[in-house]
């Protein structure tokens, strides 16, 4: 017995404590924690962190997704296509076109060859309704013409004399089939033509080369426009026409008599038209 009444342990060989099983998850009472437990916790930590980050990223992505009914706005760096013809309307009050012009002209009552003249065509319209307008045109054609031999030997020295024809006419204009891409327009214009035929005759009378004298004569234009819209205001225009002139021949020839000669000739103009903003 010891001093405190406790039995003394024999001083024999000390017994070796039992070795802990490393594969036990829960050690004996008051024993050390197994390294397997620590290893298990440490190995799951990265997976838990990744899962938390993934959930957080999913919440942010869901918050940033626009609702299905939200309007799609322009995004920087993305090409947004537009239709330049979307605002084409046939409701303008005025329009004006300037075209390069060509016309076939007969400078005399009995010439075998006509003249190919070039010039300028300026046309304006005032629209009264959806389909009807009043149109006015001013055209100038310049060039040279073949000359007849006439009855004078000196006329053989006149080759390719300069001639000109100026037309001023007006009348109704009708808008036909049309859409945002283009339109077909018809017109009938009545007015006058001024023919300049004596400028290069070197003092000879017009009859010497089978020309008309300089004069103002009745004229009419039958045709229309073929318009190709490029925007709400700008139009590419082609204008084919048949031009009727009634020049007076003061002398008779073997093929014609004295009086007005009816001449039908082809003309065409190509250019641009501008539609003004003011609406009907």
Question: Structural domains in the chain?
Answer: 94-275 (2.40.160.20)
> Looking at residue 28, what is its pLDDT?
52
Rg (CA), the chain: 50
Tell me the average pLDDT across 70-95: 74
Tell me the average pLDDT across 134-162: 83
C-alpha pair distances (Å), 6 with each of 3, 9, 13, 14, 104: 7, 9, 20, 19, 145
Instruction: Report whether 242 contacts 210 (CB < 8 A).
Output: no
> Looking at residue 207, what is its pLDDT?
86
Q: Hey, what are 111's tokens?
A: 């010439």
> Looking at residue 86, what is its pLDDT?
82
Name residues whose C-beta falls within 8 Å of residue 94's C-beta, 6 or more positions apart in sequence: 124, 125, 126, 127, 275, 276, 278
Instruction: Report whether 106 contacts 263 (CB < 8 A).
Output: yes
Percent of the chain scoring above 90 in pLDDT: 50
Q: Hey, what are 89's tokens?
A: 């309307």
**pLDDT at 73 exceeding the cut of 60:** no
Name residues whose C-beta falls within 8 Å of residue 146's C-beta, 6 or more positions apart in sequence: 111, 112, 113, 114, 115, 160
Name residues whose C-beta falls within 8 Å of residue 103's C-beta, 6 or more positions apart in sequence: 117, 119, 139, 141, 165, 243, 265, 266, 267
Q: Please give the model's pTM, rounded to 2 decimal places.
A: 0.68
**pLDDT at 70 exceeding the cut of 60:** no
**Rounded to whole angstroms, how far apart are CA atoms 194 and 246?**
11
> Looking at residue 35, what is its pLDDT?
44
Whole-number average pLDDT of the chain:
80
The residue with greater pLDDT, 30 or 218, is 218
């Amino acid at each position: 017995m010891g001093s405190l009444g406790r039995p003394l342990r024999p001083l024999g060989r000390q017994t070796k404590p039992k070795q802990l099983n490393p594969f036990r998850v829960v050690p004996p009472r008051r024993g050390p924690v197994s390294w397997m437990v620590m290893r298990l916790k440490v190995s799951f930590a990265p997976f838990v962190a990744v899962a938390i980050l993934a959930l957080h990223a999913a919440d942010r992505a869901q918050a940033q997704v626009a609702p299905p009914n939200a309007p799609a706005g322009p995004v920087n760096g993305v090409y947004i296509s537009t239709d330049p013809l979307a605002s084409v309307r046939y409701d303008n009050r005025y329009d004006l076109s300037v075209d390069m012009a060509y016309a076939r002209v007969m400078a005399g009552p009995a010439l075998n060859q006509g003249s190919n003249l070039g010039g300028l065509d300026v046309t304006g319209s005032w629209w009264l309704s959806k389909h009807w307008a009043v149109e006015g045109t001013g055209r100038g054609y310049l060039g040279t013409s073949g000359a007849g031999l006439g009855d004078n030997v000196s006329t053989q020295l006149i080759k390719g004399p300069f001639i000109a024809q100026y037309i001023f006419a007006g009348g109704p204009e009708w808008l036909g089939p049309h859409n945002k891409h283009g339109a077909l327009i018809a017109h009938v214009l009545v007015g006058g033509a001024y023919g300049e035929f004596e400028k290069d005759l070197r003092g000879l009378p017009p009859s010497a080369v089978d020309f008309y004298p300089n004069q103002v004569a009745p004229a009419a234009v039958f045709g229309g426009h073929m318009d190709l819209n490029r925007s709400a205001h700008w139009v590419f225009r082609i204008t084919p026409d048949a031009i009727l002139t009634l020049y007076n021949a003061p002398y008779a020839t073997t093929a014609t008599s004295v009086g007005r000669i009816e001449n039908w000739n082809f003309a065409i103009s190509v250019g641009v038209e501008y539609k003004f903003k003011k609406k009907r």
